[in-house]
Copies of this chain bind each other. A is one copy, B any other.
Amino acid sequence: MSRRSRRKVQSGRVALRAGLPPAADVFVGPDRDDPVDVHLLEYDAESLFEQKSVRPAELRAFADDPRITWIDVDGVHDPERVKEVCNAFKVHPLVVEDILSLTTRPKSEEYDGYLFLSLKIVTLEEAIDFPIFKTEQASIVLAPKAVLTFLEGSNAVFDVVRERLRTNKGRGRRLEADYLVYALLDAVVDGYLVALDQVADHVDQIEDGVVGGSPDPDVVLLVHHLRQELLAFRKNVVPVRDGVSAMNRAPSAIVRKQTLLYLRDLHDHILLAVDTIDGLRDRLSGALDLHVALNNNRLADVSRVLTLVATIFLPLTFIAGVYGMNFDYMPEIHWEYGYHFSLALMTGTVVSLLYCFRRKGWV
Contact = CB atoms under 8 A, between A and B. Distances in A.
Interface of A: 4, 7-8, 11-12, 14-15, 17-19, 21-24, 92, 94, 97-98, 103-105, 107, 109, 111, 160, 164, 169-170, 172, 182-183, 186-187, 190-191, 193-194, 197, 200-201, 204, 211, 213, 220-221, 224, 227-228, 231-232, 235, 261-262, 264-265, 268, 271-272, 275, 279, 282-283, 286, 288-290, 292-307, 309-311, 313-318, 320-339, 342-343, 346, 360-362
A221 B98 CA distance: 38
Given A235-B275, A306-B306, A221 B290 contact: yes
25 contacts: A11-B200, A11-B201, A14-B193, A14-B197, A18-B194, A19-B190, A21-B170, A22-B265, A94-B265, A105-B268, A107-B268, A109-B264, A228-B282, A295-B297, A303-B307, A305-B307, A313-B314, A313-B317, A313-B318, A317-B321, A321-B324, A323-B327, A324-B324, A329-B338, A330-B339
Contact of A318 (B12, B15, B94, B317): B317
Given A197-B15, A306-B306, A329-B336, A220 B21 contact: no
Contacts of A304: 299, 302
Given A299-B303, A300-B299, A279 B328 contact: no
A160 B19 contact: yes
| Copies of this chain in its oligomeric complex | 5
A231 to B, nearest CB: 6
Contacts of A193: 14-15, 18
A338 B334 contact: no
A356 to B, nearest CB: 9
A168 to B, nearest CB: 11
Given A200-B11, A289-B224, A328 B338 contact: yes
Given A18-B191, A282-B231, A299-B303, A330 B326 contact: yes
A57 to B, nearest CB: 26
A361 to B, nearest CB: 8
Given A14-B193, A261-B94, A303-B302, A235 B279 contact: yes
Given A190-B17, A200-B7, A224 B94 contact: no
Contact of A11 (B183, B197, B227, B228): B197
Given A18-B194, A107-B268, A323 B325 contact: yes
A98 B333 CA distance: 87
Contacts of A22: 170, 182-183, 186, 262, 265
